[in-house]
Amino acid sequence: MSFCRASLFDFPLKPFVFSHRSCIFLPRSFVSRTYEGVSPVISLPKSTQIIAKSSSVSVQPVSEDAREEYQSKDVSGDSIRRRFLEFFASRGHKVLPSASLVPEDPTVLLTIAGMLQFKPVFLGKVPRQVPCATTAQRCIRTNDLENVGKTARHHTFFEMLGNFSFGDYFKKEAIRWAWELSTNEFGLPANRVWVSVYEDDDEAFEIWKNEVGVPVERIKRMGEADNFWTSGPTGPCGPCSELYYDFHPERGSDDDVDLGDDTRFIEFYNLVFMQYNKTEDGVLEPLKQKNIDTGLGLERIAQILQKVPNNYETDLIYPIIAKISELANVSYDSANHQAKTSLKVIADHLRAVVYLISDGVLPSNIGRGYVVRRLIRRAVRKGKSLGINGDGKGNLKGAFLPTVAERVIELSTYIDSDVKLKATRIIEEIRQEELHFKKTLERGEKVLDQKLHDALAAADKSETRPCLSGKDAFLLYDTYGFPVEITTEVAEERGVSVDMNGFEVEMENQRRQSQAAHNVVKLTVEDDADITKNIADTEFLGYDSLSARAVVKSLLVGGKPVIRVSEGSEVEILLDRTPFYAESGGQIADQGYLYVNSDGNQENAVVEVSDVQKSLKRFVHKGTVKSGSLEVGKEVEAAVDADLRQRAKVHHTATHLLQSALKKVVGEETSQAGSLVAFDRLRFDFNFNRSLHDGELEEIERLINRWIGKATSLETKVLPLADAKQAGAIAMFGEKYDDEVRVVEVPGVSMELCGGTHVGNTAEIRAFKIISEQGIASGIRRIEAVAGEAFIAYINSRDSQMTRLCSILKVKAEDVTNRVENLQEELRAARKEASDLRSQAAVYRASVISNKAFTVGTSQKIRVLVESMDDTDADSLKNAAEHLLSTLEDPAAVVLGSCPDKDKVSLVAAFSPGVVSLGVQAGKFIGPIAKLCGGGGGGKPNFAQAGGRKPENLSGALEKAREDLVATLNEKLG
């Protein structure tokens, strides 16, 4: 969690408000400041008077002259975002950057709300570092995916503008500022703004009525479902107040006005008054610290201010739609409803995909990666329905989504400036995923054809109307990306209906799972009995010392506090200070010992520390009492294993060198996706879409070893976060940084934000060797390497293995490769000879059983043979079937089975052209037979292979094959 510390402010953090359009109350020091997360920085007109003041004033009505001035202001999406942040910055709020779409919170798959990054503060897990903050938070929600593009305001990706108070101000200020922002800053006509309050929240009602001056008829009391926010069954909660914009005030303000009527109203601002803690028995207890959590939808306020009919036609999204329309060769304005919906879906989904990939989420079949994959697939399907063919740049087989993504990236400047730096990787990931999915779509067409054939066959047997099941329609939709409307259209052409009720049941099941996974923020107020609550942060001494005297502040056994532990106990120890590095930033924890010297009746004690973890800023030492006993309050000598620490330092610095070398060799767009710094090796995961060539790996090693050989001294300094980034320091994706950060630099080579331990000079690394490079996920590669002592151990182990190999092969080391290649060639020849002999034996056995063939039919006689060939392997079984088919001559049908292993069945069906012409296909025939043996398979109409896992069923399966084949041929022959 990264917050600006209160000490960085040189002015009192109290509410500041506009009192007049030409007079802004600001602390004097603020004007000369920039603040993080807003670009461009605040720019105030010269005529504006700056007054240092912290008292609030009453809300003033907006004159017509003032309204015209406000409405003439820039209402672009970027301007609205900037004006919102400036508004609250001028009122003492710290402007904080948007958190990643990948939340630190393990209970939530993606960042779904602006308050998520402040959850630990609301829970009391970490102290507030600013009294109040404001953000423009990027969010992703997928629980209403099917509504995207169909309604005016549903999105997967959206921005939530928010102001937050952590025990500083409460309802009065939140309400008044929301009104000022809406009617003064954004110039909304006061008579068009309605508000809702919780039915029992008289305080909020009175503020809106008496202090703000909203007429009673435009203040609606609403129930718990609409206006009471809860984080779950227990935890922080409180009433809400929401602001609505009225598009049709001419409809009046009768008592029966429904704010949920989205043809008239749009909710654009939600104020949550977090004032209670809900206990397990449902009691609402007042919170010690009352908080404010608000959210104003950027896309929604842009729709209002830009006076367009829906969010999609604002300047935040419409330029993307225009690019898609160009690719589809359609006009958005004249397009029908279905085409417009498709254009909106693609634009919305590409916004989400671009920002998710920028934040390190790549397409996959699980978790967040599946969200990206699903959004890309929906966009590809919609593009197909629009008739988009090719990339719009002359390549008819190319991907079109990268062209759309380029437009999204162009618009990203003030949303996330990092997106443009990652453009190459983002576009390539989208391109690969789209091309891969197009192949999947082609397979889906084949699956649909088979499903329709099966539905027709089943209906023919049961003499009912053919119908494709809802489960099959959903399979085509979810697995193969086949739109249900296309499934329905194709099915109707074939005379098959689709069970849409069954399809909707499957869809609803998925929606429930999606909502459970994506749209819940779990909050729980910390138990006052939290065992670490009153323990101060641990002072870390490990950068400068490997040993230190420390005092035991707490002992835990099995997660429960104890006063004393004795020999043999597994214990967790909290010290007031420590030289032990706790696992973080990819580096594993130090190991070592805690020693207690004898003191009166207290005997010597030794605790072996095997792991150290961090809980917030408290270090938890996990270990075993090897001798003696340990008590809370005792002083210990904490000693880190120096050899293991050195190994970790070597590998951590080598990891920094590796990242720099990768950027030089394969491109600056490469970025870290994870790492492990261990005692015996290092592991580095990075974003890249192909394997590295041998030459590239050699160049990376050469660069790193050259840097090591230069014996460069490292420089470590602590800087403000903004200064460190401006200096070019690389930040690790997903890591949370404080306002002051530690920068580790290898001058001329590498500069990174890093809290890990490092060597003092690159010469300490001694040598570096890559031991493997492989792909671990779509677009993610992994390099494992060794350095220092681990490098020596690796080389010695390899040398020992080579010595033994030379002894076995009876050759010199330089001749090992040739000797192994010769042995491989000899082995291949021997295997081929054995295979040929098996095939010859199978053909001979086939010749022996050919006389068991029998005839089916009278006017047209078909030779049929269904037999077992004992333990013949699959390839030989295939050769035997082909031999028999040629021996029996056309028309003929052969089905053979065997058990090549104790738990394996092989089946083959070979039908001559005369049999296939009757409509009898080998591929469709063999599948049901294989199922009887616990397997499956298929193939072409004239030849198919299958397998199974139940040899005991082979005899019965072949008997069934004989019966079915005879019955089918007789039926076809009439």
Residue 807 is predicted with a pLDDT of 92
So what's the pLDDT on residue 526? 43
Is pLDDT at 45 greater than 70 in this prediction?
no
Nearest-angstrom CA–CA distance, 108 and 582: 26
User: DSSP character for 713?
Assistant: B
Question: Looking at the predicted structure, is the pLDDT value of residue 6 above 70?
Answer: no
Taking the CA of residue 39 as centre, how many other CA atoms within 13 Å lie in the half-sphere pointing to its CB?
11
- Examine the pLDDT at 540 and tell me if it is beyond 80: yes
Amino acid letter for position 166 = F
- What type of residue is 950? K
In the predicted structure, residue 355 carries a pLDDT above the cut 80:
yes
**pLDDT interval class at 616 (50, 70, 90):** confident
Indicate the angle between helix axes 423-462 and 470-478, nearest 10 degrees: 160
CATH number at residue 793: 3.30.980.10
Mean pLDDT within 618-625: 94
Average pLDDT, the chain: 84
CA angle 962, 965, 966 (to 5 degrees): 85
Q: How many CA atoms lie within 13 A of 52 on its CB side?
A: 9
More confident residue, 62 or 143: 143
Is the domain of 376 the same as that of 498?
yes
Give mean pLDDT, residues 532-551: 88
List pLDDT tens digits, range 892-929.
999 999 998 888 999 999 999 999 999 899 988 998 99
Residue 609 and residue 699 in one domain: no
User: Of the given ranges (9-13, 405-409, 796-800, 914-918), which has the lowest mean pLDDT?
Assistant: 9-13
What pLDDT does 736 receive? 65
- Per-residue pLDDT band for 425 (boundaries 50, 70, 90) equals confident
Same domain, 101 and 150: yes
Residue 44 has pLDDT above 60, yes or no: no
Q: Has residue 873 been placed in a domain?
A: yes
At 363, the pLDDT band (50, 70, 90 cuts) reads confident
* Residue 846: pLDDT over 50: yes
* Residue 666 and residue 693 in contact, taking contact as beta carbons nearer than 8 Å: no
The answer to whether residue 696 is domain-embedded is yes
Say if residue 758 carries a ligand binding annotation: yes
Residue 745 included in any domain: yes
Mean pLDDT of 590-608: 83
Q: Which tens digit of pLDDT belongs to each residue from 916-962? A: 999 899 988 998 999 899 888 878 889 998 888 899 999 999 999 99
**Mean local confidence (pLDDT), 198-224:** 94
> 194 and 335, same structural domain?
no
Higher pLDDT, 510 or 559: 559
Residue 30 confidence (pLDDT): 28
> Looking at the structure, do residues 479 and 567 belong to the same domain, yes or no?
no
pLDDT, mean of residues 637-642: 96
Instruction: Verify that 133 and 201 share a domain, yes or no.
Output: yes
Mean pLDDT of 304-330: 94
pLDDT surpassing 80 at residue 40: no
What does the pLDDT look like over 148-203, one tens digit per residue? 888 888 899 999 999 999 999 999 999 999 999 999 999 999 999 999 999 999 99
Q: How far is CA 264 from the centre of its chain?
A: 36
pLDDT of the residue at 700: 97
Decide if 8 is inside a domain.
no
518 is in an annotated binding site: no
Confidence (pLDDT) at 486: 67
Whole-angstrom Cα distance, residue 6 to residue 57?
25
DSSP string, 867-932: EE-TT--HHHHHHHHHHHHHHH-SSEEEEEEEEEETTEEEEEEEE-HHHHTTT--HHHHHHHHHHT
| Parent domain of 733 | 645-797
Q: Are residues 248 and 391 part of one domain?
A: no
Please report which confidence band the pLDDT of residue 231 belongs to, taking 50, 70 and 90 as the band edges. low
- Would 835 be classed as within a structural domain? no
DSSP-derived 3-state class of residue 281: coil
- In one letter, which amino acid is 190? A
Residue 10 lies in a domain: no
- Whether residue 121 is predicted with pLDDT greater than 90 in this model: the reply is no
In a domain, 152, yes or no: yes
The structure's pTM equals 0.59
> What per-residue confidence (pLDDT) applies to 23?
31
| Count of structural domains, the chain | 5
pLDDT at 481 over 60: yes
In 3-state terms the chain splits into helix, strand, coil percentages (rounded to 5) of 40, 25, 35
pLDDT of residue 125: 74
Which of 580, 606, 640 is the last residue before a domain boundary?
A: 640
745 and 759 co-located in one domain: yes
Are residues 871 and 957 both part of a single domain? yes
Tokens 């408290």 found at: 618
Kindly state the average pLDDT of the residues 298-315.
94
pLDDT of res. 927: 87
Question: What is the domain-level CATH number for residue 951?
Answer: 3.10.310.40
Residue 827 located in a structural domain: no
Backbone angles phi, psi at 573, to 5 degrees: -125, 130
First to last CA, the chain: 78
Predicted local distance difference test score (pLDDT) of residue 665: 95
Q: Region 675-683: what's the mean pLDDT?
A: 94
Decide if pLDDT at 254 tops 90. Answer: no
Cα dihedral: 660, 661, 662, 663 (round 10) = 50
The answer on pLDDT for 70 being more than 60 is no
653 with 749, same domain? yes
pLDDT surpassing 50 at residue 704: yes
Please tell me whether residues 432 and 551 are part of one structural domain.
Answer: no
- Judge whether residue 237 has pLDDT over 50: yes
Q: Helix or strand or coil: residue 592?
A: strand
742 and 775 in one domain?
Answer: yes
Nearest-5° Cα angle at 817, 815 to 821: 120
Band of pLDDT at residue 1, cut at 50, 70 and 90: very low
Could you say which of 600, 617, 640 is where a domain stops? Answer: 640
Q: What are phi and psi of 821, to 5 degrees?
A: -60, -40
Measured CA to CA, the distance from residue 744 to residue 652 in angstroms comes to: 11
Beta-strand relationship, 936-939 and 18-20: unpaired
Residue ending a domain, choose from 589, 619, 640: 640
